[in-house]
Amino acid sequence: MPSAHLYASARTPFGRFGGALATARPDDLAATALTAALARTPALDPARIDDVVWGCANQAGEDNRNVGRMAVLLAGLPTSVPATTVNRLCGSSLDAAALASRSIETGDADVVVTGGVESMSRAPWVLPKPERAFPAGDVTAASTTLGWRLVNPNMPSQWTASLGECNEQLAQRLGIGRERQDAFAARSHQLAAKAWADGFYDHLVTDVPGVELTRDECVRDGSTPQTLAKLTPSFRSPADGGTITAGNASPLTDGAAALVIGSERAAELLGTAPLARIAGRGAHALDPRDFGLAPIEAADQALARAGIGWSDVGAVELNEAFAVQSLACLDAWDVDPDLVNTRGGAIALGHPLGASGARLLGTLAAVLRERDARWGVAALCIGVGQGLAVVLENQEASR
């Protein structure tokens, strides 16, 4: 069976909610990331792209009507290049990469471009259609930026709690306190700031035309556990044991990321050697309120399918939706925490929902090469009780 390989990655800087990228449409952001990734495969004739599989969590505004296809057209690719958009919420672009790798492994494709986009700033308000014509009462608009909206009344209320409240419950149940969460968050900011200062992201991140943003906008260089401890909890009051703040959870963010995935023989078409092989995939689901724990089993599945264990892993990119759920995963895995998110995580870099999975894979491939490590894991939690993971193999590693 053919193997699937990651050949190139590129992403935009991630902008804060209402920040520098708020003026950029999501379909334009997607086209920017897609174009930048393809620029890293100089020999590729765009007409040879077999498919584009794109992730997006919202799809309620300018990202509606198959934003993957919109990105293809806006990027100036031949109209013969097909595209689809997939939605597994926060896992959308990691799901897109997994789908692309399966297409390559079955022989259905040689080159697939994947990625994802989210503009949380530009997510619209939506109005439900009335149950009958000419209603006399008021109608409430629902924000589509994040979380539940237009909830089915048959859904159990404990499943439709906010993401923050679900993680407060997790913190309480597992005994993961505020101090530990803030320390984890400060580490994320410090490592992200160092990564930018070191030039690590210079090749991975591409500029957005017409926007003056040269690095991820949410990174706070001077963050410490002490400064984060001053922030007020966002979902529960301190008197009610609230621990989650704007400082130890990922911020609302805008951005896009893209990957070029191909078969082994696609190296000739692309004009470049692969960065890593996609060696294993895993998906897991559980009670919706426990979504933060779902990456645990997803990563274990992916490792088993790759034929390795945690002792073989040299790098981990775990999406930091919340510090508490990230710590819960690290407590469950037999992995050295110092191998996790060594170049910062989503608490600092941002979490534009549909783009984060592709960001994880692109960063993971770069970290594996930087560390001369062979095996790495990318994993993330997904609202409504799911988790995804992908294992990469750096075949050029000397150990």
Catalytically annotated residues: 90, 351, 381
Total length of the chain: 399
The full DSSP string for 135-197 is --S----EE-SSS--S--TTS-GGGSS-HHHHHHHHHHHHT--HHHHHHHHHHHHHHHHHHHH
Burial of 13 (0-12, 13-18, 19+ CB in 10 A): buried
Both structure tokens of 397: 């590693």
Please report the sign of the dihedral spanned by the C-alpha atoms of residue 44, residue 48, residue 53, residue 58. positive
Both structure tokens of 143: 């924000």
Cβ–Cβ under 8 Å, residues 257 and 11: yes
Across 301-338, b (16+ Cβ under 10 Å) vs e yields bbbeebebebeebbbbbbbbbbbbbbbbbbeebebeee
Contacts of 366 (CB under 8 A, 6+ apart): 9, 200, 203, 204, 275, 343
Distance CA 16, CA 27 (A): 18
The full DSSP string for 214-249 is -S-TT--TT--HHHHTTSPPSSS-GGGT----SSSB
Distance CA 303, CA 283 (A): 12
Q: Are strands 111-119 and 253-263 parallel, antiparallel or unpaired?
A: antiparallel
Distance CA 173, CA 85 (A): 37
Distance CA 178, CA 247 (A): 11
Distance CA 142, CA 147 (A): 10
CB atoms within 10 A of CB 84: 13
The full DSSP string for 268-293 is HHHTS--SEEEEEEEEEE--GGGGGG
Residue 173's identity, in one-letter code, is R
